[in-house]
Amino acid sequence: MNFKFTDEQVKFRQEVRDFLEGEIKQGLWQPTCDAWIMAHDPEFTRRVSAKGWIGLTWPKEYGGQGRSFIDRLILTEEMLRYGAPAACHWFADRQIGGAIVHYGTDEQKEEILPIIMKGEAYVGLGMSEPDAGSDLASLKTRATEDGDDFIIDGQKTWTSGGSNMNWIYLVARTDPEAPKARGISEFFFRTDLPGVSVSPIVDITGGVHFNEVFFDNVRIPKTCLIGEKNRGFYQILNQLDFERSGMERLMANYPLFEALIQYVKETKRNGKPLAEDPVVRSKIAQLKIELEVGRLYMYRVGVIMDEGRAPNWESSMSKAYGTAFEQRLATAAIEIAGLYGQLSPASRLTPMRGMAYHSYLSSKGYSLQAGSSEVLKNIIAGRKLELSAK
Amino acid sequence: MNFKFTDEQVKFRQEVRDFLEGEIKQGLWQPTCDAWIMAHDPEFTRRVSAKGWIGLTWPKEYGGQGRSFIDRLILTEEMLRYGAPAACHWFADRQIGGAIVHYGTDEQKEEILPIIMKGEAYVGLGMSEPDAGSDLASLKTRATEDGDDFIIDGQKTWTSGGSNMNWIYLVARTDPEAPKARGISEFFFRTDLPGVSVSPIVDITGGVHFNEVFFDNVRIPKTCLIGEKNRGFYQILNQLDFERSGMERLMANYPLFEALIQYVKETKRNGKPLAEDPVVRSKIAQLKIELEVGRLYMYRVGVIMDEGRAPNWESSMSKAYGTAFEQRLATAAIEIAGLYGQLSPASRLTPMRGMAYHSYLSSKGYSLQAGSSEVLKNIIAGRKLELSAK
Amino acid sequence: MDLVLTEEQEMLKKMASDFLTDKFPKTVVKEIEETESGYSPEIWKEMAELGWMGLVFPEEYGGVDMSFLDLAMLLEEMGRACLPGPYFSTVMLGGLPILDAGSDKQKQEYLPGIASGKTIFTLALTEASARYDAAGVEAKATADMDGYILNGTKLFVPDAHIADYMLCVARTSDEAKPEDGITIFIVDAKSPGISCSLLKTIANDKLCEVVFDQVKVPKENILGEPDKGWAEVKKIVERAAAAKCCDMVGCLQEALDMTVAYAKERKQYDQPIGGFQVIQHYCVDMFTDVEGARLSAYQAAWMISEGLPCTQEVAIAKAWASFASPRVMALAHQIHGAIGCTIDHDLQYYTRRASADGVTFGDANFYREVVAREMGL
Amino acid sequence: MDLVLTEEQEMLKKMASDFLTDKFPKTVVKEIEETESGYSPEIWKEMAELGWMGLVFPEEYGGVDMSFLDLAMLLEEMGRACLPGPYFSTVMLGGLPILDAGSDKQKQEYLPGIASGKTIFTLALTEASARYDAAGVEAKATADMDGYILNGTKLFVPDAHIADYMLCVARTSDEAKPEDGITIFIVDAKSPGISCSLLKTIANDKLCEVVFDQVKVPKENILGEPDKGWAEVKKIVERAAAAKCCDMVGCLQEALDMTVAYAKERKQYDQPIGGFQVIQHYCVDMFTDVEGARLSAYQAAWMISEGLPCTQEVAIAKAWASFASPRVMALAHQIHGAIGCTIDHDLQYYTRRASADGVTFGDANFYREVVAREMGL
């Protein structure tokens, strides 16, 4: 057993921190919550790419760095801690690259991985549909074979990527006759094709990072298929475990936590800093305890991946816990701020740069995206505790 | 709308208080938690009977007082507040009398109600069986017709009444061929019959108030049947709503709450009373808020009954809420007491007369007896919100 | 005890519900939220014609002389409809305090305007400390020859930017106890020296920062007794908190209703999600919280209506509503799934308002402390 | 990072689990709990023969020189088995402090007895205040010609009634800071002036009230430096808290395992109750809590084992274990139904111990405050 990071890992973390602090000092961006999904900054992504930090864990033969998943978690954790605007490369780096490394053809690896590593693939995840959310297997978007092509028809929703999206990862039905889960395949292609139209969804904070995407007779070559035809659902299950392990599930509003700590130290009530109010102290210490335990759930997933195993219930636990934690953090922050907690980021008097307000609203979605907490608990109950209905 | 008690009700409450305070002053008993089910005191029951307080709501024609259910709740609330040893008459008064008034024959009313009102029927509720807890309809105890009698065979468990039990209310299967819920009947008879044997169950606190009861070829006359044969399950549903409305579901550990308030006022930590510790203050105020809202859920049930309606989801809500509250109260009390909270009632140094320790353990059962919280929530979801599985 | 609404109350609620549903579809709420004024003068006029502004005022001032409890029922429907505008400010924070503490002359001067919907009122109480205690009042009013000069900054003042008058709470003398030396002034909102700017808030509810810079107020504009205003402020806050609870009951009830309806309609895994036991229990937990909010809010409103002392009952109701509302809304979102997190879904109106309502006139911690004091702790 | 146990640790756990399962069926635990001594000298001897008492002590003192982390693994199994007896007191509260702070002479004098299972030790720290802070130490030791005279009353001292020696924490001089002027004494439990009475506790775990009345202790029995003992006490408490967490992991894991097994076996409504989604989620919530306890406890134990500073990590682990255990046990009971609330059911052993463990060496509030301080709040 060993709970320490290696010297190299400590050094790497420092390197990432130095880089990000330098960026902030130069005023290139301001830390925000949910920056991983909301803050699109192609320039930042290019600079991250230049550091070699996209595709960190991919094999060197494909141009990756061949580094460990713990290294990648360290990178992720610092990106989130500093609220860095990483949304442009996030999904390509976290999800698509891995899928291609795992299931892609040699051609796909040669063609697509470099685009991702250069930070040029702003990827939307085209999974959910209006009637297929938690129940992904019931999706209706069709991919029909036609010679060397597939023809795509249908609609996706909650497709990430905002207005920058130029590539889409798509899950579609390739065999309508097969049992639900057995007729699904994965695709990856550019969105500037005829027949693709995108309509942004404005979220509860006013932000735009999800889209509805419509496919009307969209023709894509068969080379866009990832992995095996009709095996997509099973490939995805794997990728979802991976997606769920993302550090963003615990730390998307880490900048809020830091701001909250500063706020209670600096804000006086009845002449004393809020930090001396025992109820506030106790609440913040409790959050700290929960955050640190959350990091353990999280790093455990990294450890498992570095052992070459696929994370399973461990990533479901990590995600369900992490999103619940973030909601508790946001709720605590807005409560501690009292009337000031109601002020929007646009207000001059807003404490914590409006992040309490923002996170209180945006964290509602955390426990829904990428596996609702209920689905995750079902998974843990079934896969690990072996509890099932008769 | 009116949230006030009438002058008569205020007077009645005072009368009950005076009586109970007088009893305590005379040293006749000490207030305890769970006294309604755990503290058996035939003498006390006789004195309560003499006041006319058993059968308070029953029609005057049967010897009752014909008073309102709110009056009865007031009586109940004060009994619990003072932790009075009412276990001998509790179930007869709360449950059986009502069932007989509702479903009994004239002969049963004439014969049994006076026994209850005299405080001489120490009733055990023979409902649960080892394999039929929440799922009561699957009970196996048989009552087979034989001439003018029924022959009872089977086993009950969690039968209340402790070692005093001299009457039993029994739910048994009278038609094994009918669908589960449609072949069940209710009976009421003395336990000193041949073939009845009783084996006490020691609970987690060391207390004995539940029994296993075995029926081996027990012969009872048909006059022991309450209501209609094979309609027992539906009669019970009604009675359960009534049972769930019992104030004891919120206030069984009220004496602990009073003791806790006194404890934090009197106990100093770091030279200051615990009551001045903001975390403790906040916790106790929260409990007070929850208790008072619980009383509203509770009195609403009384109001409904006084309107001549049967309580429905309202009593399920009241019971589920009340038992959860009592567990929170017990947990808070044991936590506030710190290391002292671990001391058993037998210890000289035990704070709050050992009630925190007692309630922490005994309150675990509150959310299980008479409808587990899960079953109650299912009922509310189904009956009121009309949510159901396909 | 009796928990049944009177026939008049049922009618009032029904009428209000019909009117508000008709006039305030969420598209209209959204439009109004986005205007600077934050209300629709046209519908405001119609509300006045229905007698809503004068609901609790005596007939002599143009009111219809109904009870505070009746008003509470109306507020519940307003909460349910997410009514935007200065109704609460005008009636609860302006009219009722004047009816309570005003001189005959003041009542005659201001109440008819309120009752007829002509005058908009508000209360300028909280300041930088953002607390509802007396120590938070630092604005100063110094006696001048023919009146007072007001100086100070008030924060989170609702609807000040459209108000005709404000009740402004200021310190008129420095005493040992922060509760002493406080006076309430009726201030003409167009007085020179008043500047007002809108704060951007979660509920888009038009809270303002109001700066008083050498604002002259005539002596006769003191509401109640000089230096002894805190007792009335406490009463205003207590009543407003109880009223806010009723508002919140409507808000939370609607969120619950929407959620239960969605759970019946939304299918996943070939059945309505309301068929899953976990979703059922979530709904029951929400329902239990809402019922607790309702019972405690009605109790508080009824006691105010009857003129009974009810500091503890109000504290219980507002604490409950304030701590229950985030958990009710969290479950509402959890059941609605992603669709509930979009700006175009009706749920978000309730999420934002519930959040604002929770802290307005005291949050759960504030009222826990009140309860602790009432318990003698 | 690496979360895998070594082969030796796995073996140790397996061996311990087999031994404890064999020796301590709950019937035996119950019998032992009901004796006054609270342990079985026979099995104690066997445990000593297995090397458990000497596990972490150097070979020169008759130990087997394993690490604190190895000991933690053993403690987890002891928690799982509800081991009654003075193991924790002797090794954690007696032996390790002596190894840590004792002179060579003291080590030679006491450690072999501990390692061989001949000597029982304990720690007399807490008093009437029942707190683990320095201000709670009011027992006094006054210098006498050839040593000290101890006076005071210690409370909640585990196993004092069977101990051969106690470490007694007493105040040797009055200083401004409560942390100063504290000394640890190794006291022969049979010294004249010591009286000991058992407290009846929820876990039946033989806590004692120990009165020191003019008890003479020779000077050479000071452990560590006179007047500067608090630093070592802090260390003892920190280490004991981490160890207690491992104990609790075993306890909670067993409660979880029993519950999941019961959910699979118990049928209601024609299916195992584990088929109901709400029961499944309850189990997952329990499991999540237990995993958090495990990861944080292992982290703390590993850091102690490595000699790394870990005040915050221990605080996190103990706070988590302490606040998670009541909710884990509440769900365990909820799923077990009424049967779990009987004295004859195994679950109650875990309920009672979890409750005791939660407050021993600091409860969640105590450690929240530690975390707050570590955060610079």
Query: Percentage of residues in chain A with pLDDT exceeding 70?
Result: 98
- What predicted TM-score, i.e. pTM, was given to this entire model? 0.95
pLDDT for res B364? 87
Q: Which of C130, C140, C201, C191 is nearest to C166 (CA)?
A: C191
> What average pLDDT score do residues A194-199 get?
96
Tokens of D248: 């609790």
The SS3 call for residue C187 is strand
Determine the distance from the C-alpha atom of residue A166 to the mean position of all C-alpha atoms in its chain, rounded to a whole number.
18
Query: In 10 A of CB A223, how many CB atoms?
Result: 15
Mean pLDDT of A289-302: 95
Supply the pLDDT for residue B372: 87
Report how far residue B82's alpha carbon sits from residue B72's, in angstroms, rounded to the nearest whole number: 15
Nearest-angstrom CA–CA distance, C319 and C367 = 5
> Subunits that touch chain A (at least 3 Cβ pairs < 8 angstroms)?
B, C, D
Same domain, A116 and A183: no
Co-location of B72 and B149 in the same domain = no
Which chain A residue shows the shortest CA-CA distance from B282? Answer: A279
**Residue A368 domain boundaries:** 244-384
Does residue B1 fall inside a structural domain?
Answer: no
Question: Do both A208 and A285 map to the same domain?
Answer: no
Tell me, yes or no, if C110 comes closer than 8 A to chain B by beta carbon: no
**pLDDT given for residue B132 in this prediction:** 86
The yes-or-no verdict on residue A26 having pLDDT over 70 is yes
Are β-strands A123-126 and B196-202 bridged in parallel, bridged antiparallel, or unpaired?
A: unpaired
> For residues B342 and D202, is the Cβ–Cβ distance under 8 A?
yes
Same domain, A358 and A306: yes
Same domain, B220 and B344: no
Which residues, including other chains, have CB under 8 Å from residue C242's CB and lie 6 or more apart?
C72, C297, C300, C301, C304, C310, C314, C317, C318
Query: A308 falls in which pLDDT band (50, 70, 90)?
Result: confident
| C371, closest residue in chain B (CA to CA) | B285
Cβ atoms A280, A335 nearer than 8 A: no
pLDDT for the residue C283:
97
Handedness of CA C327, C332, C334, C340 (dihedral sign): negative
Confidence of residue B210 (pLDDT cuts 50, 70, 90): very high
Looking at beta carbons, which residues of chain B come within 8 Å of A282? 279
**CATH (domain of A91):** 1.10.540.10
Please compute the mean of the pLDDT values over residues C286-292 and round it to a whole number: 98
- Tokens at residue C303, please? 């006691």
Task: Let me know if residue B84 belongs to a domain.
Answer: yes
In single-letter form, the type of residue at position A141 comes to: T
What's residue D254's pLDDT? 98
For residue A327, what are the CA distances in angstroms to A331, A336, C282, D230? 6, 14, 17, 40
Q: Is the dihedral of CA D268, D269, D275, D280 positive or negative?
A: negative
- Provide the token pair at C375: 């318990």
pLDDT at A318 over 80: yes
Q: Which two tokens stand for residue A320?
A: 């369900």
The predicted-structure confidence for C165-218, as pLDDT tens digits, reads as follows 999 999 999 999 999 999 999 999 999 999 999 999 999 999 999 999 999 999
Can you give D199-235 as a three-state secondary structure string? Answer: ECECCCCCEEEEEEEEEEEEHHHEECCCCECHHHHHH
Q: Does one domain contain both A100 and A134? A: no
How is residue A50 written in tokens? 């230049």
What CATH number does the domain containing A303 carry? Answer: 1.20.140.10
Are A28 and A88 contained in the same domain? yes
**Two tokens, residue B44:** 């006390």
Name the pLDDT band for B346 (thresholds 50, 70, 90). confident
Instruction: Identify the structural domains of chain C with CATH numbers, from first to last.
Output: 7-119 (1.10.540.10), 122-227 (2.40.110.10), 231-374 (1.20.140.10)
CA gap B4, D231 in Å, rounded: 60
Query: From the CA atom positions of chain A, what is the Rg in Å?
Result: 21
How confident is the model at residue D46, as a pLDDT? 97
B175 min Cα distance to partner chain C (Å)? 31
- Residue numbers in B near C307 (CB within 8 A): none
Cβ neighbours of D278 in C, within 8 Å:
277-278, 281
Looking at the fold, whether A143 and A54 belong to one and the same domain comes out as no
Instruction: Supply the DSSP string of B198-229, one letter for each residue.
Output: EEEEEBTTS-EEEEEEEEEEEEEEGGGEESST
Q: CB under 8 Å to C217, separation ≥6 — which residues?
A: C141, C147, C148, C149, C150, C168, C185, C186, C187, C191
- Tell me, yes or no, whether B237 lies in a domain: no
CA distances from A154 to A160, A170, A196, A221 (A): 17, 11, 10, 17
Structural domain includes residue A235: no
Nearest to D271 among A2, A285, A389 (CB): A389
Q: Which two tokens stand for residue B209?
A: 């108030």
The CATH number of whichever domain residue B220 belongs to comes to 2.40.110.10
Question: Of A60, A92, A120, which one is at a domain's C-terminal end?
Answer: A120
* A195: number of Cβ within 10 Å: 14
Whether residue C141 contacts residue C68, with contact meaning beta carbons closer than 8 Å, is answered with no
A151 and A76 co-located in one domain: no
Determine the Cα–Cα distance for residues C75 and B364; give it in Å rounded to an integer. 41
Put simply, whether A178 touches D (Cβ < 8 Å) is: no
Window A:67-126, CB contacts with C under 8 Å: none
Domain shared by B99 and B181, yes or no: no
Kindly report, residue by residue over B285-328, the tens digit of the pLDDT.
Answer: 999 999 999 999 999 999 998 998 888 899 999 999 999 999 99
Does residue A135 surpass a pLDDT of 90? Answer: no
pLDDT at A238: 76
pLDDT of residue B98: 87
- The stretches of B267-312 forming alpha helices (DSSP H) are 278-306
Q: Of A120, A151, A183, which residue constitutes the final position of a domain?
A: A120
Domain membership flag for residue B221: yes
Q: How far apart are CA A351 and CA A260, in angstroms?
A: 9
Q: Does residue A13 sit in the same domain as residue A63?
A: yes
pLDDT class for A110, splitting at 50, 70, 90? very high
Burial of A24 (C-beta count, 10 Å sphere; 0-12/13-18/19+): middle
Q: Which of C278, C285, C334 to mutate to test the interface with D (most CBs of D within 10 A)?
A: C278
- What pLDDT score was predicted for residue D111? 98
**Is some CB atom of chain C closer than 8 A to the CB atom of A199?**
no
Output DSSP code: residue D188. Answer: E
Nearest to B136 by CA among B128, B146, B145: B128
**CB within 8 Å of B346: residues ≥ 6 apart:** B354, D200
Number of domains making up chain A: 3
pLDDT surpassing 90 at residue D132: yes
Kindly state whether residue B112 falls inside one of the protein's structural domains: yes
Choose among D279, D296, D372: nearest Cβ to A293. Answer: D296
| Residues D66-73, mean pLDDT to the nearest whole number | 97
Contact A289 D319 (CB under 8 A): yes
Give contacts of D281 with chain B, Cβ < 8 Å: none
Among the candidates A120, A154, A188, a domain finishes at A120
Q: If you average pLDDT over residues C6-10, what whole number do you get?
A: 94
pLDDT digits (tens, 9 = 90+) for A337-390: 999 999 998 888 999 999 999 999 998 888 777 678 999 999 999 999 999 876
Residues of C with Cβ-Cβ distance to B380 under 8 angstroms? 284, 287-288
- Do residue B362 and residue B289 come from a single domain? yes
| Residue A21, CA atoms < 13 Å, CB-side half-sphere | 6
Type of residue at A199: S
What average pLDDT does chain A have? Answer: 92
Taking contacts as CB-CB distances below 8 angstroms, the residues of chain A near D315 are 289
Report the distance separating Cα C92 and Cα C86, nearest Å.
Answer: 10
The distance of C1 to chain B (nearest Cα, Å) reads 5
Mean pLDDT, residues D312-325 = 98
Cβ pair C337:A331 closer than 8 A:
no
DSSP per-residue string spanning A243-285:
HHT-THHHHTTHHHHHHHHHHHHH-EETTEEGGGSHHHHHHHH
Hey, how many other C-beta atoms are within 10 angstroms of the C-beta on D176? 7
Residue B245's pLDDT band, with cuts at 50, 70 and 90, is low
- With CB atoms and an 8 Å threshold, state whether B338 touches D352: no
Residue of B355, B375, B360 lying closest to B326 (CA atoms)? B360
Cβ-contact D176, D246 below 8 angstroms: no
Q: Residues A246-292: pLDDT tens digits?
A: 667 888 899 999 999 999 999 998 889 999 999 999 999 999 999 99
Do A1 and D302 make contact, defined as CB atoms within 8 angstroms? yes
Q: Are residues A224 and A189 in contact, defined by beta-carbon separation less than 8 angstroms?
A: yes
Place of tokens 């919550």: A33
Q: What are phi and psi of B331, to 5 degrees?
A: -65, -45
CA nearest to B281 within chain A: A279
Contacts of D131 in chain B (CB under 8 A): 269, 338
The mean pLDDT value for D290-301 works out to 98
Is the pLDDT score of B238 beyond 80?
A: no
Taking residues D34-41, report their average pLDDT: 96
Residue C369 pLDDT greater than 80, yes or no: yes
Q: Which of A9-13, C151-155, D39-43, D200-204 has the lowest mean pLDDT?
A: D200-204
pLDDT band at A245 (very low <50, low <70, confident <90, very high): low
Asked if residue C171 lies in contact with residue C141, where contact means CB atoms within 8 angstroms, the answer is yes
Distances (CA, A) of D112 to B171, B258, D109, D191, D217: 65, 52, 7, 21, 22
Which residue's structure tokens are 């146990």?
Answer: D5
Query: What is the C-alpha separation between B144 and B133, in angstroms, rounded?
Result: 22
- Specify whether the CB–CB gap between B240 and B316 falls below 8 A: no
pLDDT band at B390 (very low <50, low <70, confident <90, very high): low
For residue A220, is it within any domain?
yes
Token pair of A29 as six digits: 């961006």
Look at residue A47 and tell me whether its pLDDT is greater than 90: yes
- Would you state the pLDDT for residue C344? 92
Does pLDDT of C101 surpass 90? Answer: yes
8 Å CB contact of A279 and C203? no
**Closest C-alpha to C373, from B292, B275, A277, B291:** B275
ipTM of the complex: 0.95
Classify residue A1: in a domain, yes or no.
no
